């Protein structure tokens, strides 16, 4: 293998080989040494029928990826060329595990995980089918979950065909696809339809659900699937609604299957078990009335002062049992049970209200007043400095940038994390910055001097989230290693490790008085921790998918969680019951913040929007449009009149209430 291909791609190590080629992990010097994958076509023999077919398939993968264009869940085609009589295909590197690897390590998936898989991959299949491409080889090994954001990717388009070609008669004896996952029309005649990919997806789900390969789940004598019997032997089951969807996906007859991916999504959405997965009523402002156009960019941003905000007053208390508005049809939420373990249980008292100070008139609009550009990759974290007109951002390009809000200029670039930055926080006095990243460390910076003070080591995997108490003494970090660590912020020393989370921790948020911590992660639950004892107090259960972020109000009365299930849930801290379920995003919600008025909630989502909610009523007030990619992080200025949103489009947008 040459040291440098095309003066750009530097192979690092061999990660796979087959009869006709090898696959290498490489670095792309033109993209800040970003990792990529190089597929080298290097057959041992030439001139045979098998060789000619291999050349065709290798060329075909490049052509299909090029024809499809860009999709966030398909590895991007970076280059395709010939060098020294070898063919090379360069693709985006997806750092993660295949779904078969996940099952081998963690065991079979449950119903919620299978449903999430379907909701995640079906839109990808709809995309490729609308481009008249049939994948023809969907298996657990061709689905990879990226570590950084838990997003699923569909890979290996080596046998993909245009729809017309996939329907043509294949040569006798042609077998396209993987045994057990490919439907009968592919294996017998080489023909494939959109519903052929759906069959393979269904067989993949059955494998992941049971832990058994499809060929062991099909009774050839009886001519039917016995996957439910296998589940019963494992003392497990799934709902009748999901059973009906999976059974229809893997029907032998083409005409009895779902016709396309949207039909499967419609079946999932209409199933009573899946509708309203989170208990409680939903209050939603129509999005058609909430959209706010992006304003032209002025030369500067007027940063509001604390004096420009009215002195808050407390509205009448809103009891948990107050009836929903006339437009709501679901019953009022009921308190959630506390954990069964007596030591963790807390007494259930009267529901806490969300107290509502006065707020600016709802007719005021949020307008984008500045777009900050300079990062070379996804912007994953953002925070306002409470003591100066500056903003700090972190990115997967491994840098932290400090921005002047008045001019939009980059002031400082901090480099210290050798891998992507996942989260950051600024102390209430504006002097200390804390960041964390994929390198498994937490870093403490002197923000005014731009100097690294401490590097905190101890986590075994990526650190996903950090939080600082208002007193500025305690720092908490959450990690994929399933632990939360507490540190002394001034000395950079460890206090204790909080154990008990059964899955990776994605988010942590601390009470202002530094007495209590809230965490969320891949187990779909919000957990409440006593920081003095290190014990878990209770968990809040209601989400059906992993939690991406949590935020706690400054008055300590309520917590908001953002989830991959496309919802936000407002929880009462006092009782653990649900106050509101916020629905309006049409893709997973990545970030949530609560304004200092304890009345305004702001969220960012994969649907590229920022949404502003009323915490007291649960209504959607505004939808902010402008980002061209996933919104990954949100920050709110201490005055409550500025919002910053960070995005995978490599920009930060600053929004101001009133716009002028």
35's tokens:
């990792």
How long is the chain?
A: 660
Q: Which helix (H) or strand (E) holds 111?
A: helix 111-130
Residue 282 has what DSSP assignment? B
SS3 511: coil
- Find where tokens 């999430």 sit: 116
For residues 556, 557, 561, 567, the Cα torsion angle rounded to the nearest 10 degrees is -150
371's tokens:
């777009």
CA distance 227 to 224: 9
- Cβ partners under 8 Å of residue 260, min gap 6: 126, 129, 194, 195, 198
Residue 629 has what DSSP assignment? S
566's tokens:
């496309």
Alpha-carbon torsion 603, 604, 607, 611, what sign? positive
163's tokens:
């729809």
SS3 199: helix
Alpha carbon distance, N-terminus to C-terminus of the chain = 59
535's tokens:
């014990």
The b/e string for 524-535 (b: 16+ C-beta within 10 A; e otherwise) is bbbbbbebeebe
Answer for the pair 302, 639: CB distance below 8 angstroms, yes or no.
no
SS3 159: coil
- Cβ partners under 8 Å of residue 537, min gap 6: 344, 346, 516, 528, 529, 530
Q: Estimate to the nearest angstrom the gap between the alpha carbon of 96 and the chain centroid.
A: 14
- Find where tokens 């494939």 sit: 192
- Rg (the chain; Cα; Å): 26
Tell me phi and psi for residue 201, to 5 degrees. -65, -40
- Determine if residue 39 is labeled as part of a ligand binding site: yes
Answer for the pair 573, 558: CB distance below 8 angstroms, yes or no.
yes
Q: Estimate to the nearest angstrom the gap between the alpha carbon of 337 and the chain centroid.
A: 28
Answer for the pair 195, 258: CB distance below 8 angstroms, yes or no.
yes
Residue 335: count of CB within 10 angstroms of its CB: 13
Please give the positions annotated as active site.
137
Answer for the pair 282, 328: CB distance below 8 angstroms, yes or no.
yes
Separation in Å, CA 57 to CA 62, 138, 149, 241, 366: 9, 16, 31, 39, 51
SS3 61: helix
Which residues contribute to the annotated binding site for ATP?
Answer: 39
């Amino acid at each position: 293998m040459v040291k440098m291909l095309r003066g750009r791609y530097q192979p690092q190590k061999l990660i796979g080989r087959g009869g006709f080629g090898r696959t290498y992990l490489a670095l792309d010097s033109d993209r800040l040494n970003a990792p990529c994958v190089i597929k080298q076509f290097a057959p041992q023999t030439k001139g045979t029928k098998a060789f000619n077919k291999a050349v065709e398939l290798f060329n075909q993968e490049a052509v299909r990826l090029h024809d499809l264009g860009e999709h966030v869940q398909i590895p991007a085609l970076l280059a395709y060329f010939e060098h020294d009589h070898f063919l090379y295909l360069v693709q985006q590197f997806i750092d993660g595990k295949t779904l078969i690897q996940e099952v081998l390590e963690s065991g079979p998936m449950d119903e919620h995980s299978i449903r999430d898989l379907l909701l995640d991959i079906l839109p990808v299949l709809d995309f490729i089918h609308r481009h008249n491409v049939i994948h023809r080889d969907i298996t657990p090994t061709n689905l990879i979950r990226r570590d950084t954001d838990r997003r699923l990717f569909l890979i290996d388009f080596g046998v993909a065909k245009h729809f017309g070609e996939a329907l043509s008669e294949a040569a006798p004896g042609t077998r396209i696809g993987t045994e057990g996952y490919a439907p009968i029309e592919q294996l017998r005649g080489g023909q494939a339809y959109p519903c052929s990919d759906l069959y393979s997806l269904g067989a993949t789900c059955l494998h992941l659900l049971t832990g058994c390969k499809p060929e062991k789940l099909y009774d050839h004598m009886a001519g039917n699937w016995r996957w439910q019997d296998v589940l019963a032997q494992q003392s497990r089951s799934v709902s009748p609604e999901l059973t009906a969807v999976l059974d229809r996906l893997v029907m032998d007859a083409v005409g009895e299957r779902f016709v396309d991916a949207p039909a499967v999504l419609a079946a999932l959405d209409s199933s009573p078990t899946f509708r309203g997965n989170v208990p409680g009523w939903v209050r939603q402002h129509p999005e058609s009335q909430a959209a706010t156009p992006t304003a032209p960019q002025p030369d500067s941003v007027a940063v509001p002062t604390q004096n420009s905000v009215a002195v808050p007053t407390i509205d009448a208390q809103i009891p948990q049992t107050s009836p929903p508005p006339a437009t709501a049809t679901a019953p009022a939420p009921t308190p959630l049970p506390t954990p069964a373990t007596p030591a963790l249980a807390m007494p259930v008292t009267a529901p806490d209200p969300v107290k509502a100070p006065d707020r600016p008139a709802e007719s005021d609009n949020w307008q984008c007043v500045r777009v900050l550009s300079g990062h070379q990759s996804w912007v994953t974290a953002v925070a306002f400095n409470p003591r100066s007109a500056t903003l700090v951002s972190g990115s997967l390009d491994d840098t932290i940038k400090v921005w002047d809000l008045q001019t939009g200029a980059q002031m400082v670039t901090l480099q210290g994390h050798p891998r992507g930055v996942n989260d950051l926080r600024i102390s209430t006095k504006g002097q200390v910055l804390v960041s964390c990243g994929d390198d498994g460390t937490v870093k403490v910076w002197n923000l005014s001097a731009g100097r690294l003070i401490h590097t905190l080591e101890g986590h075994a995997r990526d650190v996903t989230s950090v939080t600082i108490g208002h007193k500025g003494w305690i720092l908490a970090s959450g990690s994929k290693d399933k632990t939360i660590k507490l540190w002394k912020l001034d000395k950079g020393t460890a206090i204790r490790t909080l154990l008990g989370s059964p899955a990776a921790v994605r988010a942590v948020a601390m009470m202002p008085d530094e007495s209590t911590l809230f965490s969320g992660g891949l187990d779909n639950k919000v957990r409440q921790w006593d920081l003095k004892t290190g014990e878990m107090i209770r968990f809040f259960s209601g989400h059906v998918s992993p939690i991406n972020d949590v935020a706690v109000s400054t008055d300590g009365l309520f917590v908001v969680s953002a989830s991959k299930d496309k919802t936000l849930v407002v929880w009462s801290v006092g009782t653990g019951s649900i106050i509101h379920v916020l629905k309006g995003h049409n893709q997973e919600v990545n970030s949530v913040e609560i304004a200092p008025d304890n009345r305004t909630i702001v969220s960012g989502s994969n649907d590229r929007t920022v949404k502003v909610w009323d915490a007291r009523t649960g209504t959607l007030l505004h939808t902010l449009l402008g980002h061209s990619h996933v919104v990954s992080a949100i920050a709110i200025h201490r005055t409550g009149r500025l919002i910053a949103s960070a995005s995978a489009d490599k920009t930060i947008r600053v929004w101001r209430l009133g716009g002028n």
